[in-house]
């Protein structure tokens, strides 16, 4: 088994790739690491793939995958995790804002301190306020909900034991919450390391403010899925049962009061059951309860019969055995 797999997702980074690959090679050779460099081309529209091909002819450790279109960072990381063969897996961005010089320290934290994963912390950032302020807010929210004491969940520079990446699945836009996913899979030894954050030399950032708009929803989603994906009936069934019982008991009470007024108290004029707002609230509660219960039942069927499929198409590879 080789020491390290470096997974680099990229999108339109033709200018930075030569410097990045050479830098990684220098670090690996100077420390005597055996390694592979996995470049995941996420549907770049520039000459990134041609540059990768030229670099692969110079460095045999380079392996690459090309998607037919841009699927996002999560799909790229998930593919890299599946292909990685190293004892320790390092992920980093391709824009040269992450420093490969951090790799040896990250490797030691995994192998010598027995951590499952180590997340980088860009304590001093070279980003505009429009990115740093929302980032701090969502990091604080994630710490509160997940209970994981990290300062920077979305830092691209991370290290993992091989067992971690082989037992988690990253999908949608969940790459920023990989520590949360790892924790819910039982990998709780999560560390943090202050890392250098460099100014971008080429191109422009691929992330806009919309990622922060959806970040909180993503966090709620991963928290819910992690807790209830194996038994959705526990969530939907409980809510459905409570809603149905409220509606049923309310309806029964209204009917009883009607019968009591007519046949026991002999009141000549009694308000109709259907004229009372509580009746319609109860009716809605019964319908919602049944729907929630059915949602839980269908969820259970999907869990039992699930068959996971990758939603991205690989159209070319370099150095990957088919």
Provide the CATH number for the domain around residue 164.
Answer: 3.90.550.10
Split at pLDDT 50, 70, 90, the class of 307 is very low
Q: Tell whether 187 and 259 lie within a shared domain.
A: no
Q: Decide if 106 is inside a domain.
A: yes
Report d(CA 165, CA 207) in Å as an integer: 24
Count of structural domains, the chain = 2
Q: Tell whether 156 and 132 lie within a shared domain.
A: yes
**Which pLDDT tens digit goes with each residue over 239-293?**
888 999 999 999 999 999 888 888 887 887 778 888 888 989 999 999 998 998 8
Split at pLDDT 50, 70, 90, the class of 84 is very high
Q: Tell whether 241 and 212 lie within a shared domain.
A: no
130: CB partners within 8 A, 6+ apart: 209
Q: Decide if 184 is inside a domain.
A: yes
Backbone angles phi, psi at 48, to 5 degrees: -55, -40
Q: Tell whether 272 and 159 lie within a shared domain.
A: no
Other beta carbons within 10 angstroms of residue 222's beta carbon come to 24
Among residues 165, 198, 228, the one where a domain terminates is 228
Q: Tell whether 217 and 283 lie within a shared domain.
A: no
The pLDDT > 70 percentage for the chain reads 83
Hey, what are 114's tokens?
């027995």
**CA-to-CA separations, 77 to 16, 83, 313, in angstroms, rounded:** 19, 10, 14
Lowest mean pLDDT among 25-34, 244-253, 309-318: 309-318
Q: What is the 3-state secondary structure (H, E, C) of the chain?
A: CCCEEEEEEECCCCCCHHHHHHHHHHHHHHHCCCEEEEEEECCCCCCHHHHHHHHHHHCCCEEEEEECCCCCHHHHHHHHHHHCCCCEEEECCCCCCECHHHHHHHHHHHHCCCCCEEEEECCCCCCCHHHHHHHHHHHHHHHHHHCCCCCCCCCCCEEEEHHHHCCCCCCCCHHHHHHHHHHHCCCCCEEEEECCECCCCCCCCCCCCHHHHHHHHHHHHHHHHHHHCCCCHHHHHHHHHHHHHHHHHHHHHHHHHHHHHHHHCCCCCCCCHHHCHHHHHHHHHHHHHHHHHHHHHHHHHHHHCCCCCCCCCEEEEECCCC
Q: Tell whether 181 and 211 lie within a shared domain.
A: yes
Backbone angles phi, psi at 64, to 5 degrees: -145, 155
Q: Tell whether 145 and 208 lie within a shared domain.
A: yes
- Is the separation of the CB atoms in 96 and 20 below 8 Å? yes
The stretch 212-226 carries a mean pLDDT of: 66
Q: What is the pLDDT of residue 296?
A: 77
Other beta carbons within 10 angstroms of residue 153's beta carbon come to 24
Q: What is the pLDDT of residue 128?
A: 62
Domain extent, residue 214, equals: 4-228
Q: Tell whether 27 and 150 lie within a shared domain.
A: yes
Q: What is the pLDDT of residue 213?
A: 60
Q: What is the pLDDT of residue 50?
A: 96
Q: Tell whether 216 and 238 lie within a shared domain.
A: no
pTM of the model: 0.74
Q: Torsion angle, CA of 131/132/135/137, rounded to 10 degrees?
A: -120
Among residues 188, 209, 228, the one where a domain terminates is 228
- Is the separation of the CB atoms in 83 and 321 below 8 Å? no
């Amino acid at each position: 088994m080789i020491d390290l797999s470096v997974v680099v997702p990229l999108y339109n980074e033709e200018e930075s790739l030569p410097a990045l690959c050479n830098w990684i090679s220098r670090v690996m050779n100077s420390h005597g690491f055996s390694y592979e460099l996995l470049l995941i081309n996420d549907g770049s529209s520039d000459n990134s793939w041609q540059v990768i091909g030229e670099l692969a002819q110079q460095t045999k450790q380079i392996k690459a995958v090309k998607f037919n279109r841009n699927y996002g960072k999560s799909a790229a990381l998930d593919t890299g995790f599946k292909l990685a063969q190293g004892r320790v897996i390092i992920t980093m961005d391709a824009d040269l804002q992450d420093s490969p010089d951090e790799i040896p320290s990250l490797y030691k934290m995994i192998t010598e301190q027995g951590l499952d994963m180590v997340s980088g912390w860009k304590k001093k950032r070279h980003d505009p306020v429009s990115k740093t302020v929302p980032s701090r807010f969502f990091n604080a929210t994630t710490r509160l909900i997940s209970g994981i004491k990290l300062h920077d969940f979305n830092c691209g520079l991370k290290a993992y034991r091989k067992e971690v990446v082989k037992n988690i699945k990253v999908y949608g836009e969940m790459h920023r919450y990989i520590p949360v996913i790892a924790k819910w899979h039982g990998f709780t030894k999560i560390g943090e390391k202050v890392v250098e954050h460099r100014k971008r030399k080429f191109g422009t950032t691929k992330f806009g403010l919309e990622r922060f708009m959806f970040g909180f929803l993503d966090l709620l989603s991963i928290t819910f899925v992690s807790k209830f994906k194996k038994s959705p009936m526990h969530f939907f069934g409980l809510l459905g049962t409570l809603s149905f019982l409220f509606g049923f008991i309310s309806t029964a009470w209204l009917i009883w009061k009607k019968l009591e007024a007519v046949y026991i108290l002999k009141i000549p004029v009694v308000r109709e059951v259907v004229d009372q707002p509580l009746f319609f609230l109860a009716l809605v509660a019964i319908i919602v309860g049944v729907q929630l219960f059915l949602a839980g039942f269908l969820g259970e069927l999907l869990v039992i019969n699930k068959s996971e499929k990758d939603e991205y198409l690989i159209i070319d590879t370099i150095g990957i055995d088919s």
